A and B are shown apart, each in its own frame.
Chain A
Amino acid sequence: MSATRRVFAAPSTKVAAFVLLVVLLLTITGGLFAPHDPLAQDVPNQFKGPTSGHLLGTDYLGRDTLSRLIAGTRVTILGSFATVALGFLLGVLPGIISAFLGRTSEFFVMRFIDSLLTLPIIVLAVAATGLFSNGTGAVVIAVGVLLAPRFFRIARAETLGFASEQYVEAAQLFGASRFWVIRRHIWSKVLPTLAVTSATSLGSAVLALSSLDFLGIGVKAPAPSWGGMLASDVQYLYQDWSAAIWPGLAIAITVWACNAVADGLRDGLGAHAGGHGATGEQAPAHDLDSLLTSELAGAQGA
């Protein structure tokens, strides 16, 4: 079986990949497929339940919920991709290099990463937008920086496993440089695991960015975003609670799809979930890195 076949072997992965494909399509096309103008108000028709004209009903200003949901996809998903890309860029290479550091510098680098992990993502993002500028850019940078420790720790844990392999040792004996070893032996083997991490991180990023939109940080009203739609619908729960259900479902389904694709990638690409290569020492079960590499840590971002 080819690698692609193995990745999509489970039916849940196929469904999840289809969901992500639809989400991506909506991200690219923006509001093109929206049946109505997402910003068009029709106040007399507020709080209407699902009808043939408005498949998911209307909100407190009579705006079409489905159209706002479709139009809000782009900003949430693009932001999440940018966040994950930033976390990847900031985390992976330092993580790989950190495996080859001396003891003292390693101690301080690890404590620096620990200190990033002590900061709650949401609170730091709130603070960063307050101190710098309140916009999607500041939110993406703040969340991306705090996702970086996850990439760092996983890249490092994987590298530590592969660096103790005999072929690496052999290359060393033949005089290979540190850079050559990373490029030739480490990089391609760390990538599958990092693909899994990226997929789960994408889910975390969607959750984090939606939470921040919900708090009114990031996307500015009236532009639609999934979290922002929830925030405005919450004010009118006593009049009509149905409109508030849909954006939450959109977020949950997208996050589920990210996690399911991550599971497929892990099974199909032979990425590790905890332990290391054949000769690598089995990581102790309470080790933070192996926990982060395992499937559980991925989903929790917000």
Chain B
Amino acid sequence: MEAGRISIGTRTTPSYERGGPFGFMRGIAPAVSGRVLRLVLSTLTVALFSTLLIFALAYFSPSNPAATKLGENATPQAIAHLNHVMGLDRGFFAQYFSWIGNAIHGDLGVSWFSGVPVGTSIKTGLPVDLSVTGVALVMALLMGIPAGIVAGTRRGGFLDRGINAISSTAITLPVFWIGMVLVIVFAVKAKWLPATGYVPPSAGLWPWLSHLLLPAFALAVNVAAVVARLLRNSLVAALDENFVVGATVRGLSPRRILYRHVLRNALAPTVTIIGLEIPQLLGAAVVTEALFALPGLGQLALTAAQEHDLPVIQGVLLVMVAIVLVCNLAIDGLLGWLRPATRRKHS
């Protein structure tokens, strides 16, 4: 397209679907690998931008690690020397590439305060986050998908209105407040479940799960409500489609139509929104960790933020972005499986 002129009527598809800067590959690569290649290039570009952002945040921050490390009596020469030793007197891109290069090899640097390698701290904290968010996601789907199906197939009915009322309330509740109410009911009053702490799965399935149930449920409520409402709306829309009428005319049972044809189509927006929810889930996990005293990445980031511990903050953000990107790739694969049309469109 010529620059400086608005082209009209062709702008309803995003650039990556029209080809974008990598559109030339449409002719070179076979259909499937073209889609995969485009996905990989998109992901790499997003990874480049987000790592640049994370690095820029630290690079332009006013914190002066050498001065902090050496204490109040440090001479300017000593500070300059330490900055040189730590490689902090180099340019932006030189520092960025050595940081990202080391990170790819698993070296995230060393905490400026505790001297512990960042990778080690993250290895201890990551299982906690993965456990909590993983269990939360499973809970959210177990609550949200049946609720969405029940509401969507009984449009306007008592159950539909009931589920709608519950989910629109659930969406407004802050995660930490849900968590607190759970602690009051199940830990303070009933004393059924522990209120705080984390036990690794190696200590046994129930001890591990019992420490996760409350925080994971607190996290799951919002996501379940979003999933239920979206699935309900897409089911209602999908049930009006012509292919449903066609399938009914062909004599397929309503159950078969729902589970084999309609649900598959209606799940696609739900899967997309789950992908969008994953960063939010990781963010909310930080709050839940604080409430339930779970030693996860959020607690690590929070302490590091209070100490201006740059390598730790960067490391935690980097790992979170990596998790989100991997999840996005998985979601994209799932969408391709749910909707063969998205695969064919690129061929």
**Chain A interface (Cβ < 8 Å from any Cβ of B):** 99-100, 102-104, 106-108, 110-112, 114-124, 126-132, 134, 160-161, 163-164, 168-169, 172, 178, 181, 203, 207, 210-211, 214-215, 217, 227, 230, 234, 237-238, 241, 244-245, 247-248, 251-253, 255-256, 259, 276, 280-281, 283, 285-286, 288, 291, 294-297, 299-302
Given A103-B1, A130-B306, A256-B169, is A286 in contact with B342 using a C-beta cutoff of 8 Å? yes
* Cβ–Cβ < 8 Å partners of A115 in chain B: 46-47, 49-50, 53
Besides the known contacts A215-B302, A296-B230, 13 further A-B residue pairs in the complex with CB atoms under 8 A apart: A106-B15, A107-B15, A111-B46, A111-B49, A120-B280, A130-B304, A168-B8, A211-B283, A247-B177, A251-B174, A291-B272, A296-B226, A300-B222
Complex partner residue of B283 from A104, A121, A132, A248, CB under 8 angstroms: A121
Q: B57: CB under 8 A from chain A?
A: yes
**In this complex, which of A169, A203, A285 has the most chain B Cβ atoms within 10 angstroms of its Cβ?**
A285
In Å, the complex CA distance between A73 and B243 comes to 52
Nearest CB in chain A to that of B57: its residue? A131
* Cβ–Cβ < 8 Å partners of B47 in chain A: 115
Instruction: Give chain A nearest CB distance to B51 CB in angstroms.
Output: 9
Complex partner residue of A129 from B19, B168, B282, B305, CB under 8 angstroms: B305
In Å, the complex CA distance between A45 and B22 comes to 69
* Cβ–Cβ < 8 Å partners of A295 in chain B: 229
Instruction: Give chain B nearest CB distance to A63 CB in angstroms.
Output: 19
Complex partner residue of B335 from A126, A127, A207, A286, CB under 8 angstroms: A286
Give the number of chain B interface residues (Cβ < 8 Å). Answer: 91
In Å, the complex CA distance between A34 and B101 comes to 56
Contacts A/B (CB < 8 Å), 26 sampled? A107-B45, A114-B42, A115-B46, A117-B279, A119-B53, A119-B317, A120-B282, A121-B279, A121-B280, A122-B287, A127-B301, A130-B307, A168-B8, A178-B6, A210-B174, A215-B302, A227-B176, A230-B176, A255-B172, A259-B168, A276-B12, A280-B12, A283-B12, A285-B237, A286-B339, A300-B171
Given A107-B16, A119-B279, A300-B280, is A252 in contact with B174 using a C-beta cutoff of 8 Å? yes
In Å, the complex CA distance between A100 and B3 comes to 9
In Å, the complex CA distance between A102 and B3 comes to 6
* Cβ–Cβ < 8 Å partners of B174 in chain A: 207, 210-211, 214, 227, 248, 251-252, 255, 302
* Cβ–Cβ < 8 Å partners of B308 in chain A: 130-131
On whether the beta carbons of A123 and B298 are closer than 8 Å, the reply is yes
Stretch of B76-84, B111-119, B318-326 at the chain-chain interface: B318-326
In Å, the complex CA distance between A32 and B101 comes to 57
Q: B173: CB under 8 A from chain A?
A: yes
On whether the beta carbons of A118 and B15 are closer than 8 Å, the reply is no
Nearest CB in chain B to that of A247: its residue? B177
Complex partner residue of B57 from A111, A127, A255, CB under 8 angstroms: A127
On whether the beta carbons of A164 and B9 are closer than 8 Å, the reply is yes
* Cβ–Cβ < 8 Å partners of B335 in chain A: 286
In Å, the complex CA distance between A302 and B11 comes to 33
* Cβ–Cβ < 8 Å partners of B252 in chain A: none
* Cβ–Cβ < 8 Å partners of A130 in chain B: 301, 304-309, 313
Q: B62: CB under 8 A from chain A?
A: yes
* Cβ–Cβ < 8 Å partners of B307 in chain A: 130
Interface string of B201-217 (1 = CB under 8 A from A): 00000000000000000
